[in-house]
Chain A
């Protein structure tokens, strides 16, 4: 039964918590929360005040779905747990802002803000019991009233997942805990951790290193342990997520209880994990690079989440990740959106959390919460972020390359321009090949090849192309005009191809018309043209020659040395 599972999970989580949540009741509540969370839609994580959402929804929506919970909880751990964590985190953060005595106030605050999320409803409904587990963190007294839930491996798994999420923000978590003497709150780290745990992955890289507080360490360790175990299991096989998680959970249980010792073991586990990080290693490296986190723990937690959640995605990293990652597409996207903010605030997240003041910290916390939610794919989100940055960097480069795209903003329009440009270039190649096909039989390439090579190398035929360049760059459809002419005159071909040249030359520089000669006299016209050009100093006008690739052909002529320069060379 789902409800049973839920119960099992929660107690299990509680047991794992080294912090020993104050009472099983809390854990039970948490279980409810987790259950609700699992069943809660992805929307749970919203960039709104998670606190408000959690509170109200948890209380308001009573049974989101006991049935799916158990089932969804497993796979949805990544998704849903964050909500729980968010809830917890929110509470924690709320506590940061408010005194523990304000537990009730926190709850009340909840309704005001996040309300918007429907997803929270289920959890809130579940928590009708009145004790929002996360809130329980802040309000130990409430926790006491929580029913006890039997520990369950599944619960442990969930807890582990949660811990993975909240790896980074333990410090924040701890702070609120510190305020109240609710030792029971610590279990939150293990059980309620969902909130802070979510944050952890986001802030793990940073907060972890910064989380110097013992509490944080403990929490982190607990989370990490869970994560490590989970991740270690997961990397081995995405389908084995749950299995791995269970294993890890078992391990984490022991580890979590060990506290600091567990942390060290976690580290070792982490090391192992990183070693065995299979497909996720790429992401790992990426994450490491991007996260720049010295804290392997945070990284591992992130990784674990990723591996646990999207081990497949990790493997598919090279491939269109979008296809895979979007399993939680909506969520990840949302999370990703929040991730930048959350990630950026990671470093400051921990700092922010302790110093939560007013709406900003709450927002940040909320973002963290969201990040946690998306932290399920934290590594993915980081990977996505890196990928997006890469893409934007390349788009910028392409913008410079494609003429007339400097003013274009937006990926879609830019891509359209790029596609058009490539198509126009290909059409030009086709047209020129037609031209060459007509010219080919009549030209002795051996000699002229060498000549052309030198000329081309040195000048890229600016003079000859000057007129054409002005002509050619004209709307590409114009290119189609000469080809018919060329085709008709194919075999006889000289005259026709010469027409556009002649026209262009005449249009551009009447003086050069004299230099226009039959192909048989190519070397001479070339020299004559050169002389003419030199004499007339037309080079300046022909600067854009040769580019022709785009309407603003001159832009493409960048690499070409100014005609004047080439003249000098010749």
Chain B
């Protein structure tokens, strides 16, 4: 089942694509964040950590493209995450109704699905849906498919990141 494209020597492989995008994003992060900050370095460090983490996931999603639901969901989340957060904050301060309605709609959908799933004893499915980005909107069959691909990409991601970290930390 090994995809020939996964071989490291293949320039168009997922690994090479991910490495490329990830390194670019790391550089971008480095540029945007001053290496030394007067304010709490700890906080800075944490912020940078989260940035790198998000960059890693988004880079992988970009490398995968929009073929996969989870990659699409990841990219969408990254794009709209800030927007959603801002909206939530604003709405929270102003009127909770809209935000709640939106949240409720989503929650209702999720709850309904959860209820349905629970009725059928799909606790695992729900858990998996939470883990895999964009998994909430999928039936079990597609979810397994996405999970498999997601695991493959996660493994590649971990390998590349580790090699980069090792490379740079040595």
Give residues in A with beta carbon < 8 Å to B: 318-323, 326, 387, 390-391, 394-395, 397-398, 400-402, 411-412, 415-416, 418-419, 421-423, 425-426, 428-430, 432-443, 445-446, 448-449, 452-453, 455-461, 464-465, 468-469, 472, 487, 490-491, 494, 497-498, 501, 515-517, 519, 522, 525-526, 529, 546-549, 556, 558-561, 566, 569
Contact = CB atoms under 8 A, between A and B. Distances in A.
B161 to A, nearest CB: 4
A486 B53 CA distance: 15
A397 B131 CA distance: 19
Contacts of A436: 26, 52, 161, 164-165, 168
A275 to B, nearest CB: 26
Contacts of A490: 41-42, 44-45
B88 interface: no
B2 interface: yes
Contacts of A423: 131
B89 interface: no
A248 to B, nearest CB: 31
A439 B30 contact: no
Give the top 7 A-B pairs by smallest Cβ distance, nearest first.
Answer: A461-B163, A441-B35, A415-B124, A464-B166, A323-B116, A433-B53, A394-B144
B22 to A, nearest CB: 9
B81 interface: no
A445 B30 contact: yes
Given A429-B57, A445-B27, A459-B8, 19 more contacts: A318-B139, A397-B1, A422-B154, A428-B158, A432-B162, A434-B49, A435-B165, A436-B26, A439-B165, A460-B163, A461-B162, A494-B169, A501-B169, A519-B170, A529-B170, A547-B159, A548-B162, A549-B159, A566-B8
Given A391-B140, A436-B161, A455-B167, A429 B154 contact: yes
A448 B49 contact: no
Contacts of A411: 124
B48 interface: yes
B32 to A, nearest CB: 11
Given A320-B116, A465-B162, A494-B169, A416 B41 contact: no
A472 B30 contact: no
A507 to B, nearest CB: 15
A449 B27 contact: yes
B155 A394 contact: no
Indicate the size class of the contact surface on chain B: 35 or more
B152 interface: yes
Nearest to B23: A449
B161 A412 contact: no
Nearest to A463: B166
Interface string B105-116: 000000001001
B42 A487 contact: yes
Contacts of A387: 141
A322 to B, nearest CB: 5
B132 interface: yes
B163 A546 contact: yes
A393 B96 CA distance: 45
Tell which of A390, A394, A458, A498 has the most Cβ of chain B within 10 Å: A394
Contacts of A421: 151
B141 A446 contact: no
| Chain B interface mostly | helix
B141 A391 contact: yes
Contacts of B93: none
Given A418-B147, A422-B151, A457-B19, A519 B168 contact: yes
Interface stretch (B9-17, B61-69, B72-80): B9-17
B116 A322 contact: yes
B124 A460 contact: no
A460 B141 CA distance: 33
Contacts of B71: none
B124 A549 contact: no
Contact of B167 (A422, A440, A448, A560): A448
Contact of B148 (A323, A398, A516): A398
A253 to B, nearest CB: 39
B23 A394 contact: no
A145 to B, nearest CB: 47
A390 to B, nearest CB: 5
Contacts of B165: 432, 435-436, 439, 497
Contacts of B154: 422, 425-426, 429, 549
Contacts of B13: 457
Contacts of A323: 116, 119-120
